Amino acid sequence: MSPFSFFKKKDKDISKINTKIFNKSKSSSSSDDIITIDFALEEINKKEINIIKNQLEKLRKTCEETIQSYEIINGIADKLETEEINAENDRLTPLVNNTKKIIVKSLKRESSNELQTPDSFEDLVKFKETIFTSISRFGEVTSSHSTVINTFMKKHANNLRSELKKITENSEKINEYYKYILEDKEIIDDCKNNLLEISNKRKEINNNSNMQDSLNQKIKEIENENNLKEKEIKQLRALPSYSKSLNRLKEIENLEKEKEILIQRISEVSNQLSKAAHKYSYGTSKGTKEIINTIIKDPVKIVNEADISPYVDFLNNLKKSITSNKILLKDSNKVIQNCEKMIDSLPKFKVEAKEIISKIKYLKEHDENSPLEKTKKIEGIVNENKKIMHDENARKEEIRKAEIQEVERLKQLTNKIEEQLFLICKKKYKINPT
């Protein structure tokens, strides 16, 4: 139905012209041609150009007629502009002439659009949109002023009606052709995108293969390094001095155990003093609190003290405070015994612990460059290399799985593209897999 409400006659539908270019008929050639991606892109670009060119050629006459209708409407507007309309009722004359000016202005504005016969798809889009917009605007002015047009502009109404009807029908035809071209372009554009994706997928697959080769090379180099390190470890373990280092290590372990036993013994006694020491600490100096903290929580620090008398003095003062009832405890007798035990044990603890620590230090320094220490360092390198190989193998497996997916996607894309090429070119093509 025409958008122009002053039209009296019912518009006839234009005939539907099937201009589909693509069809699913079998190719006359049964042979398969193997082509590259670049060749495929070149072929469908040519096909796209020909499709648009052929369709635009079919539309040329319609577009020229449309342009001519705009020129005729512009001429009608010129004639209306020069005419003076006198209404039967003089009071209506100013109103009618004023309405005429509005109509003339609108007709001139829309009919003055610079329209050229489309030579490209972009031109066709612009042409189609311009017509669509102007039809809407023509419809607005003719609908709102239909009484004036049909009553006072009878001489031009039929011509105007006829040209606007032509524009409407031509617009429908142009839009129909545009849809056909668009459908064909969608297939072509999708095929182009798939071809570009294939190109990208191939690059990704090649990159994945190169990465796997690089990782294999890296893992192989690390394996070779570890093999050499293992031989080196074997040679070091065969040395007589390696056994001596093992004996020293055993001696160090035994000394460490002795030290721990000493620390445990002194800690068991000091822990029994914690509650009393905590009460004693109220209102004391920072230095006294540090002494208390060391005795109760970390007695091994006393070993490095040149003078342990401050610790002994504290213990004596703690004992006096409990004895004089300055510090009240339920088990005061037991705590006093532990104070005496700690006072007696602390000097012995320092001497024994210091001697053990000195022996451990001597043995470790003597063993710094021993075959055993060298073996430990090499074993550390071997273990780190094994971790690296584990991580790289996991990474390689991820890449391998990704490559399998990419290859499958490439296969699906290739099949789809070959189907699209058949629809577009009416010929069977095989995409070069490399």
Residue 75 within any structural domain of the chain: yes
Which helix (H) or strand (E) segment is 81 a member of? helix 37-82
Band (146; pLDDT cuts 50, 70, 90): low
Residue 89 within any structural domain of the chain: yes
Do 124 and 262 lie in one domain? The reply is: no
DSSP sequence for 186-244: HHHHHHHHHHHHHHHHHHHHHHHHHHHHHHHHHHHHHHHHHHHHHHHHHHHHTSHHHHH
Task: Identify the three-state secondary structure at position 138.
Answer: helix
Closest CA to 133 of 301, 232, 3, 6: 3
Residue 373 within any structural domain of the chain: no
- 339, 368, 397 — which closes off a domain? 368
Do 115 and 158 lie in one domain? The reply is: yes
Who wins on pLDDT, 10 or 150?
150
Who wins on pLDDT, 346 or 144?
346
Do 286 and 398 lie in one domain? The reply is: no
Residue 147: its pLDDT value, please? 58
Who wins on pLDDT, 2 or 400?
400
Count of domains forming the chain: 2
Residue 1 within any structural domain of the chain: no
pLDDT digits (tens, 9 = 90+) for 243-253: 887 788 888 88
- 338, 368, 398 — which closes off a domain? 368
What average pLDDT does the structure give for the chain? 83
Band (134; pLDDT cuts 50, 70, 90): confident
286-302 CB burial, b ≥16 within 10 A, e <16: eebeebbebbbeebbeb
Do 207 and 73 lie in one domain? The reply is: yes
Band (45; pLDDT cuts 50, 70, 90): very high
Do 400 and 359 lie in one domain? The reply is: no
Do 249 and 307 lie in one domain? The reply is: yes
Do 204 and 101 lie in one domain? The reply is: yes
Domain containing 317 equals 240-368
Do 46 and 158 lie in one domain? The reply is: yes
Do 198 and 303 lie in one domain? The reply is: no
Residue 381 within any structural domain of the chain: no
Q: Which of 46-55, 138-147, 327-336 bottoms out in mean pLDDT, i.e. has the lowest?
A: 138-147
- 316, 336, 368 — which closes off a domain? 368
Residue 31 within any structural domain of the chain: no
Do 287 and 428 lie in one domain? The reply is: no
Q: How many CA atoms lie within 13 A of 103 on its CB side?
A: 29
User: How far apart, in Å, are the Cα atoms of 409 and each of 13, 207, 381, 403?
Assistant: 47, 16, 42, 10
Spatial contact of 342 and 273, defined as CB atoms under 8 Å apart: yes
Do 54 and 169 lie in one domain? The reply is: yes
Residue 118: its pLDDT value, please? 93
Residue 103 within any structural domain of the chain: yes
Who wins on pLDDT, 2 or 129?
129
In whole angstroms, give the CA distance from residue 138 to residue 104. Answer: 11
Do 141 and 176 lie in one domain? The reply is: yes
Residue 233 within any structural domain of the chain: yes
28: pLDDT strictly greater than 70: no
| Model pTM above 0.75 | no
